Amino acid sequence: MCAAEFVREESPSTFRRVAAAMWGKPSDPSIYGSMDLDVTETQRFIERYREKTGVRLTITHVVARAVARAFAENPDLNCKVRFGGRLERRRTVDLFVSVATEKGKDLSGVRVDAAEELSLGELAKAVEREVTSVRSGTDSTYTKSRNLLARTPWWLTAPLLRLTDFATNELHVHLPSQGMPRDPFGTVVLTNVGPFGIDTAFAPFLPLGRCAMLLLMSEIQLRPTVVDGAVVARPILRLCATFDHRIVDGAGAGRLAKIIRQWVEDPENAEKKA
């Protein structure tokens, strides 16, 4: 076999010269994927569930339940990377649901541990309880972390975040009283950007996160869909996922997507089979 041979590119475009000098070699393990879900039956289910139970169920709760079940059925994907390359499996599926605060001017979130063990109603109540706590300022853990960052000079923010990452993710130090909980974002970060009218978007990973997946929910819109050979307008929810390729490959993403689709598009039957 001959060694690879190269010839110098003599006249690259200006952009290619600038790009080659400006960026380093690829090191980001992110991969992306999206899927459209027909939520016709889902919306009907949510209305029936609200009337029957009095629980203020939303599409976010349904998706969160679906994600929790998907990772519960694929425990090999419920992992994080520590110490630069060691894969470790979480014992539970812990979800972090992003929450807009300060009338949309800031972003926080609530964490629901062992979400796979909760029923749909229990999950909805847990999220709602934590959201109320965050927005009212009574959530001690994340309120303290936000206040600490707000008081930190800009030039100390990056070192503080690196220290927090090392303590909570590498050493697994658990200091909720200081606003530094262990493994702060859990398995998945779920963000509903639908209320902002966003159609399609993908979220970047935070080094502090160490999540296997970030999932953005877009605005439910009427889109053309083929049903029984005919094109009809159906309410479609677009899910946009960012995966850590060190944990989730294409086959793994496909397994997760199949279960999430089942639980979101037909939650009533999925709940009965659970």
Alpha carbons 72 and 80: distance in angstroms, whole number: 15
**Which of 147-156, 175-184, 236-245: highest mean pLDDT?**
236-245
Average pLDDT over residues 64-86: 95
Average of per-residue pLDDT values in the chain: 90
Tens of pLDDT along 90-107? 999 999 999 877 666 677
Average the pLDDT over each of 138-142, 209-213, 270-274 and give the range with the smallest value.
138-142
Q: What is the pLDDT of residues 9-61, one digit of tens each?
A: 788 887 888 888 888 887 889 999 999 999 999 999 999 999 999 999 999 99
**Do the Cβ atoms of 29 and 244 come closer than 8 Å?**
yes
Token readout for 103 is 């009338």
Residue 1 has pLDDT above 60, yes or no: no
Residue 126's pLDDT is 95
> Is-above-0.75 flag for pTM?
yes
The CA-atom distances, in angstroms, between 77 and each of 33, 163, 250 are 16, 27, 12
H-helix segments, the chain: 14-22, 40-53, 59-72, 120-136, 140-151, 154-165, 250-265, 267-273
Local confidence band at 68 (pLDDT 50, 70, 90 cut-offs):
very high
Q: Domain 29-137+184-273, CATH 3.90.1200.10 — does that match?
A: no
Q: What are the residue boundaries of the structural domains of the chain, listed by start?
A: 29-137+184-273
